[in-house]
Structure 1
Amino acid sequence: MSLAGIYLFLALFSAFSTFAAIVQARKIFYLTPVYFLCAWLCGELALLHIIWQVALTAVVAFFGGLSDPLVQTGLWVFAASWLGMVYLHCQALDTAGRLRPALGKGLGEDYRQDIPQERRQHLSDTISSSNWLRPFHFSRSGVQEHNNIAYGDAGKRNLLDIYQPQEEREGGFPVLLQVHGGAWIIGEKEQQGKPLMYHMAQRGWICVAINYRLSPKAVFPDHIIDVKKAIAWIRQNIHEYGGNPDFIAITGGSAGGHLSSLASLTPNRREWQPGFEDIDTTVQAAVPIYGVYDFLDRNNIRSGMSMESLLSDKVMQCTPTEKREAWEAASPISHVSDEAPPMFVIQGTHDSLVWVEEARAFVSALKAATRESVVYAELPGAQHAFEIFHSVRTEHTVNGVADFLEWSHARWLSPE
């Protein structure tokens, strides 16, 4: 293929990716993985794509390629794509305009007044381009890592990493537990949650990221048992790293959103704590992100795009007909009650893997049952996995989650 042909191909691919990021596609079946990848990477890295595409165009022009009809066509296609990417970038910039009202609605308009002044100085309404222009640069100064610490006896799948602030904090560091996603069958603790964990660790929180057993080798409830085992380990050991074992918040995306919400709603469930039944596994706050909340899809949200086959074959290894009670138990929506902790649920409107309606149904049930605060932020244009690396949307989301965590900790320290 000639240089002009390559340029036109890249222009068409860019236009498709931009279209995928803007349009909310549903029921596209086998096209879902391709659509998701294109929409995800284009939507989160829109300005970076413009930069390299403009640079490519400049190179083609330098070598006299602009006289080629294929290049001229490609340039028009690129130009249309760039307009779409500018729209996507502006949409991401508006994320703070969605998060702050959601926090105000769920916690009270003056919620920051509940946070001590010395902690309020760690909150931010702005983001730094030095972060989102380097999307895969995660490490931060002032954070010490402790890697591959065993919290159980399942080898690699029962290891955790600790992100410890170097400066001490009076009363000990509150704890944030990160649970990775990956459809319960893939994923590693090193791959997700780093923008949030480093952000919080720099601001006096100790963060713990865990592996857990994966399907099909593991069968539910193995996954949630491991999460609770990690909570128990934190409760017993985190003081050795300066953490306060009495305050644990939990977060995670996708399967991690499912497991973090399920853990927060089922404290001290004895059959899910074999061998550590008497250790308190209560968490004090939860931030599930684009999670799966209903294995049974009782509201018929995923009609035509069901997860039942994956769950039956790999995760539950039984059908809902065979063991409905097990599927009920695995669904966070089945456990909403007035004992739920404060919760911040975050979901993207354009998520092609876990649809936004599932989060809406879960939040509705949660608000009807709990006495605690529930915050729900629905982010326009956000795809699945949007906060895995640094982006404009990720940075604003991290700021919003920090507000919620600081508020939750402040309320825990000084309950009304």
Structure 2
Amino acid sequence: MPENHPATVTDKRPGYGQLLRTRGAWTFLLPGFAARQPFAMLTLSTVLLVQHTTGSYGTAGAVSATTGVSMALFAPFTGKLADRFGQRAVLIPGVLLHTASVLALTLLALSGAPLWTLFVAAVPTGASTPQIGPMVRARWGVKLHGSPLMTTAAAFESVTDEFTFVLGPLFATALCTGVHPAAGLITEASLTLAGGLLFAAQRSTQPQPSRSTNDVHARVEHDSALRVPGVRVLIAAFLGIGAVFGGMQVSLAAFTESIGEPGLNGVLYGTFAAGNMLSGIVCGAVAWKIAPQRRLLLAYTALALTASGLWAAQSVLLLAGLGLLVGTCIAPALITGYTLVDRLVPSTARTEAFTWLTGAVALGQAAAVTVAGQLEDRLWDGAGFLVPMGGTVLALLVVAALRSRLVPPRVTKVVTRGAAHREPVAIGEM
């Protein structure tokens, strides 16, 4: 049996230990972790730097949102190119462009350049953000194709994403408030450069470029990720998750500044992200008997309910507790969404599908940062917390109305019953 197909899977629900013993996994996991860490630092570092130089959360949110929108628009294109030409061919020039763009944005902000130049620099900064998470997921697909460990891998990657959102905001806040307002972006660029190049160097684990195959059917399937109805539903759902991330970042920063304790921003956001990470660990270890589309609906119901109380919190302890609950509800939605992609999308289009979801989170985050910043500037302290509530409620309505599109397609086989009976008979589901 090939090494990519573990032969010792005997448990009903394989665990994380068995997953991490997959041969060659650590060669892309470690550099991948370093390269994806900056993703959680970029938005908040931009907000803190631009707010420092302009004095406006609304302006800072708009510049940061530009990076998010650019990333959301270009991420699927990047994923498609990676599927077609290989991850290394796309990642190396992308990492170099991203590093240069971040440094340019930092210098422009510090030099008091016209505001329009910040927006111009923010476009390539976001567009060139390396899509490490989807690329790692695609590499797991190569290593574990056909293995029960694929579900565990989806949970593990979601937990890893959440862990970056625990460390990233803490790093960004500590660097921007304790070292220099530009230290967050400079560190983000450095980590992206080093981690991205190391990840790109791991050529043996990257998926085979689809241009090298002569399978016409596979190439047609490769172009069809967005044509899958369930993917479009998941994109709308993940916009709501992005609204939580973006709204929390701006609103927590504004709240801690209003009480004269800006250093608490990283602690509060870290608490929110810690709840996300811990619930993700639990979700990945549970042998779920509930259908994934129903799990997604339940997860969004809980997320909308908890996010609806944020705007009323007036104390640090209450806000920390609510943030922890909101974070706890996000991971089940993320993990279930990524699991559904594995069931709904052909293997030749999964990297692109994953980048659509990543882009949706970024787009939702960008919109939330912009709206929350305006609300904080124009209304009362804490008004930005209305954004996570609105985003999750809208996402819940979409999932509830279109949950039937999240059901995996039915698989049929032709069974011959004799010379006179050759009609197709459905004998199972995917």
Looking at secondary structure, tell me which structure has more strand per residue. Answer: 1
Of structures 1 and 2, the one scoring higher in RCO (CA 8 A, sep 6+) is: 2
Calculate the TM-score normalised by the size of structure 2.
0.21
Calculate the TM-score normalised by the size of structure 1.
0.22
